Amino acid sequence: MQTYLVGGAVRDKLLGRKVKEYDYVVVGATVEQMKTLGFTQVGKDFPVFLHPKTKDEHALARTERKQGQGYTGFICDFTPDITLEQDLARRDLTVNAIAEDAEGQLIDPYHGQKDLEQRILRHVSPAFSEDPLRVLRVARFRARYHELGFTIADETLALMRQIAASGELASLTPERVWLEWHKALEDGYIDCFVDALYQAQALTELCPALATHWPEQHAWLTPRIDYARQQNLAATAHFALLMCALSHDERAAFFQHFRVPNQFIHSAQLLAQHHQTLAHYDAEILLELFNAIDLWRRPEHLNQLLISYDAYTLGQFDTQHQIRQAAHHAQQVSAQTYIQQGISGAAIKTALQQGRLAAIREALEG
């Protein structure tokens, strides 16, 4: 029984990047042996275990054979005679198919170190084309390591295009596809991710609306995503900028199809619906905006909007402080003041609106 560090941990160590999680492959062991050693089994389709102390994932060495459509249509063999080289052969990219033993020695049968040095993302074997999810994974790695100069090997890009043309991408569940979008958003290079999908001719299959005018949209989006990343903006702000490339109906279709989480939807809708208001406003328009975003109960909505709009304008949002001041003044106007004055019923709402409007005017004039 031998244990090896594999995958992203080895890759990122060699790149000098921070390792986020450690995954191991175990050769020559059975499920029963792992349990006897105190490991907890968590994998359903194939044996993956959590280490009793570190909780790092340990998977039995395995091979995979394609049986049906999609990324789940595989038969796994995880008998103890499966070798490390056989396990590494099933991995997507050579840079992810490097193992490290307990003494720190690297096992690299598919020349992943050379591809790391040359900044190339290359598939391990023709079996790459059996898993449509790999199109999105490679696009995400291309985006994540964009600043290091990584490119996709021509022959790998050809296989990605072959997968896209086969219709296999349609077998991926919307939730699984969104997970890759989400990871790319968290990495901060969503523009590079989408462009890699476009180059692989997969964007048309996954999001036709984005693909239609992508070269022009890419040129508009990239500097804004760069700015958002420099400002350490949240993934929701990056998503809001991306969604500006789509119409109202196209955004709604994207949200519904990929079952986008509410916080991403809300961020995108805030910017799409109100960015023009922030460019040209007066006191009345600001009051309408504050009412629309429910400033009074959800003040964080304004902050989300202003932060995203600052990236939208590439930092040329000179009136942000003025709008924040206007919001602050308006928030000080309380219905309780008018109730104490004897105003009641529907008249309270009218008085509250007038009071808030006056406060906004004062802030703008001051």
Q: What is the mean pLDDT of the chain?
A: 94
Angle in degrees, CA 211, 235, 17, rounded to 5? 100
Is residue 11 in some structural domain?
Answer: yes
Q: Which of 111, 144, 165 corresponds to the end of one domain? A: 111
Q: Is residue 143 part of a domain?
A: no
pLDDT of residue 69: 61
- The predicted structure's pLDDT at residue 305: 98
SS3 content of the chain, % helix, strand, coil (to 5): 60, 10, 30
The pLDDT of residue 335? 81
Look at the chain and report how many structural domains it folds into.
Answer: 2
The confidence band for 43, taking pLDDT boundaries of 50, 70 and 90, is confident
pLDDT at 48 over 60: yes
Q: State the Cα–Cα distance between residues 139 and 183, nearest whole angstrom.
A: 11
Q: Which of 111, 130, 165 is the last residue before a domain boundary? A: 111
Q: How far apart are CA 343 and CA 354, in angstroms?
A: 13
Helix pair 262-279, 235-243: axis angle to 10 deg = 60
Domain boundary residue among 111, 145, 174? 111
Q: What is the pLDDT of residues 57-113, one digit of tens each?
A: 999 999 988 766 655 567 788 999 999 999 999 999 999 999 999 999 999 999 999
| Beta-strand relationship, 23-27 and 57-60 | parallel
Q: Is residue 197 part of a domain?
A: no
Torsion angle, alpha carbons of 261, 267, 269, 273, to 10: 180
Q: Is residue 22 part of a domain?
A: yes
- Asked if residue 226 belongs to a domain, the reply is no
Please state the φ and ψ torsions of residue 63, each to the nearest 5 degrees.
-120, 160
- What's the rounded Cα separation, in Å, for the pair 278 and 185? 25
8 A C-beta contact, residue 19 and residue 12: yes
**d(C-alpha 32, C-alpha 296), whole Å:** 59
- Contact present, 210 and 175 (Cβ < 8 Å): no
Distance CA(181)–CA(133), nearest Å, equals 12
Q: Give the CATH number of the domain where residue 24 resides.
A: 3.30.460.10
**Residue 11 belongs to what domain range?**
1-111
282 assigned to some structural domain: yes
* pTM passes above 0.75: yes
Q: What is the largest CA-CA distance in the chain?
A: 86
**120-121 vs 106-107, strand pairing mode:** unpaired
Does 179 fall in a domain? no
Domain assignment present for 4: yes
Token readout for 35 is: 């349990």
